[in-house]
Structure 1
Amino acid sequence: MHDVYDDFLDILIDAVYEYATNNNISEADLDYCSKLVIGAHQETNSFQSLNDSEQNEYSTIAVNEQQGNSNSNGNNCH
């Protein structure tokens, strides 16, 4: 099922980037949003094709945003 996500990652990236833009999250540029979305979908081919360093970077971005810690660019939703 996760392979299906690969077909929609660009749409998800665009939606996250639009959200960041509309909410004045200036640190969340298109590259950052791409890393966030791909890092949050680790079972996809897009994530699996990254090297170890990239997987770590993308995963860290996703965890930071999910937890809303000091390294996140968005606001904590909890």
Structure 2
Amino acid sequence: MSGAKVSKGCEKKNMEEMNSRLYMENCYMLQENEKLRKKAELLNQENQTLLHELQRRLAVDPKTPGNSSGKAKNRGSKLVKE
């Protein structure tokens, strides 16, 4: 019986160590996810700013070469002329 107790104690310790390791990995992934979310938010803001600037320029000067109507639509991540 003492062998079974040692084995159970060892198993419990291993599970606790694994749980601690997985917890730390999870914390790290949450931190990285937050960093990536913030970067994505900044990139989205920059993209929106650039899109609005392009639309403003196209609206101000409809004679811009390659701009037949002066209108532009945002379709997903691409700017498409109408």
Q: Determine if the TM-score, normalized by the shorter chain, exceeds 0.5.
A: no
Identify, as 1 or 2, the structure richer in helix. 2
Q: Which has the higher contact order (CA 8 A, sep 6+)?
A: 1
Identify, as 1 or 2, the structure richer in strand. 2
